[in-house]
Structure 1
Amino acid sequence: MAKHGKKYTEAAKLIDSEALYESLEAIELVKKAATAKFDETVEVAVRLGVDPRKQDQAVRGVVVLPHGTGKTKRVLVFAKGEKAKEAEAAGADFVGDQDMINKIQQGWLDFDVCVATPDMMGEVGKLGRILGGKGLMPNPKAGTVTLDVAKAVQEIKAGKIEYRLDKAGQIHAPIGKVSFDAEKLNENFRALVEALVRAKPAAAKGVYLKNISVSSTMGPGVRVNPAAYR
């Protein structure tokens, strides 16, 4: 069993590990229990009643958090001509085509999100081993393969996040920073969970939202009552 430090142990005493809290109360406890010297990220973990091994029960999508994540993402756009100009005007950090592909092949990865126009995917696909392993490959389901590059960049900058079911049947996603107001964190939390409910696969049977917990980077988890979202 993992040993925790004194600060974590003291913080854990604030939380009833058997209780199911309403989301706002849970977030307020997470803020109280955050003791790190840096501005910790507030994260949500959701266990879903789906079989991650089955393609028809995959859960993946995006949601724009109303108050962002507290982190400014560096966006790379693969585009040419007018679409490249649109991406630059929308605030993309890096824009290019073959020049950017060459740069990445040489080891450059100083960005957080990739967006590409459909006509660029034939070339971008050659970066599959590099980008795919780091979860950076543009994908239509995530809205990062699109002709509307300006909208994609603006949404990412505004706080759009991608969620994806892992092999254990869980979703992990950030909803902001501990320094955020509790109400704003709660609105981000609700936006994420409601997006997950909308993304429920038709093939999923039984209880869909099994467990929900919220925590800070270094703090203990607080269980949230999923009944309000079922």
Structure 2
Amino acid sequence: MSNTENITLYAAQESPYPERVRLALEEAGAKYNIIWIDLMEKPDWYEKKVYPNVAKVPLLVYGGPELHPDEAPSPDAVKIPESLVILEFLADIFPTAHLLPSDPALRARVRLFYSAVELFLPKGFIGFCYVGAPLQTLLAALDDFQALLPPTGFAVGEWSIADAAAMPILNRLFLCLRDGFGTIAPEALREASDIVESPRYTRLHKYIEDNLARPNVKKVWDEVS
């Protein structure tokens, strides 16, 4: 496949999962088009013409003519759902971007990292911020995540799609703790903020700081936050 094909990403501002894909696209220096989907009022055309029976985001369309809202992708285009699958695809079509390490052992570590992240980080974030799960649910998720990190640097050394998988969820979690959106009671929010800002999570904060120091990571987060 040529990486000069048209790329269209169907995304939603409020979801961390399309942001994963945007991070990889930006780090690859890819030219792409975004079609924004309102998840609260999904347009009928998205399910009928683009992603039948599912209509989730993200969806990446690779190939075919440039797309606009209310248009169906070309039958010749490749349609790829699921953020982690898309990240792997982008690593394959943009090899010079080094979204995955060249070393097979490090590539395996990337996949183990984002598989572990998927098991507990969304559950901790969504559970605490939106469905009233106890604070310990969140803290356990953050403890588990922090334990995955090496002493310094990114998830497996150089920046990779492992970091793209984690950062959108972490950014939204800290936004939740700062602004109090979701269903958190004020006293629970204060307690959570005090603990998460404590030395217990020094390594986590440095990891986030290092990611946000990357221009593409900061750019994407600034656009959606």
Q: Same fold (TM over 0.5)?
A: no
**More contact order relative to length (CA 8 Å, sep ≥ 6):** 1
Q: Hey, which of these two has a bigger chunk of strand by percent? A: 1
Q: Hey, which of these two has a bigger chunk of helix by percent? A: 2
TM-score under structure 2 normalisation? 0.22
TM-score under structure 1 normalisation? 0.22
Q: Which has the larger radius of gyration?
A: 1
